[in-house]
Structure 1
């Protein structure tokens, strides 16, 4: 027997416990297995039949792992933070820490422990299948869709106990809790224009779905009001953000007089850079952030921002996940953002 034949025989005899196991045996991606077992038309008939035959041969069902976890509780909820769009961003980011704090309170109150993973999808494209198939968690909360929307959609077809903090799109299959980001962008642009801004810039990375929606909302208002708005790509990783903001301001100072920052973190870093350049806020530059983190009211001048209900969002994530652990296929929860007017605009 050749080495390759021996390897194939070992694979065939290996237990098939997860989608990842079955995908490896079939020589396809976990997403293809998920779609095939769910009967999706996106998989060609021949591949679908082969995967379904392998599943029957090994006694594997799509919801096998979820059923097993419901019977044998681990008492642990997984929390994954995928960083496909900004791989150098840190979990110590103020937004992550704020949301994680509220999630920890909610989950602890319900009797669960947390297992946290910071994920760089480029280094492990099967990160989601491996986490849910590990047998170590009862369910999963994903913080942010990043650039992983389709991967999350694939898993949602066959894994019920998963809820995602992110942006909701009509027709999507995965369950989301998050703000109406497009509306938040509209509120930000409306405030900047009402405060007298004539030329706007959006500081953020529109590869991230939530940030793209915020920019889309702001652009809708700017276009309607005949005010130009440009995107200045700005990352949240500490080793890039400051230099990018400095470079942007070098170019736009004297032209742009209104900045919509994708997050409060970017807005606060921009305030610091403007102060170093002796640019008066809000006289010469108006700024609106997004999140309303606790530090936002303590900046000088105090930051005008769009508030996300982060505490309510954490409660919604946990409540929906627990309902899904009980077998309920829940709807998404979209929270209405609120403009908080302070001194920067």
Structure 2
């Protein structure tokens, strides 16, 4: 039996040394060391040995098993190292290559225009004032020289929550609140950007929600020429140094006199095109001198103080500046539309 074990050892070691495949190695392990393997078959004959022979054969069998297991373990470690090296070679990274860029967002064109307008007026000494989007009828209408049943209220189809509470139709209430907070003494120079709400038709140029930027200046000896100079400076910075404006008489209940402000068409230079409807001018905002009644309700004596106010829609400015022909593009979350302005 000892000779059989030595012959089995020699055969197994010879075959194991020649193995170069993990699967074949496992098959040989099962063949020689498995429960039904050849070593087990040899050891089954130990029952016929004498008591003196069994320990000797048992010791030889253990040495044979240990020798085979040692070779198998060495081969398994070698195969594991080869697999690891192969994987590292396949997955290696050239650290000298430039990194892969991640997609980056951009500023929405409407947000960009709002920031630009704010920066322009802050540069002229204005400060930003804010107020509630849900307003009382008093601040939204009455304090702006629009008492109940005033026909001009029909110009703004409003979202009422109760008989006295509504979604603001303009940011003008912020002007009144600012005047009252000043107690009729300190000069005022503010812009009021924010959302406003009206029951306008949902079409290419109207939306039930849009953004307004209104301005207010109150002090001593404020004149119409101050208003014109401020708006002229704004249009030059917004639309380019060649931009010019004209003032047309108009009507707003909270200003007197009131004007519509046009900028000469920056696409055709004033010669007439489809954008300006062949007129050479583009309407951009409304303005005027603050009505004496509004000054009084704001806590100012109109005999001592005067002021001017203006208001514009941010969407309209953005549409004119970037050639956008449908206001609904601002709110549809169309990435194709937004990406056009990423590099601006």
What TM-score do you get using the length of structure 2 for normalisation?
0.22
Q: Which has the larger radius of gyration?
A: 2
Which structure would you say has the larger RCO, counting Cα contacts within 8 Å and 6 or more residues apart? 1
What TM-score do you get using the length of structure 1 for normalisation?
0.22
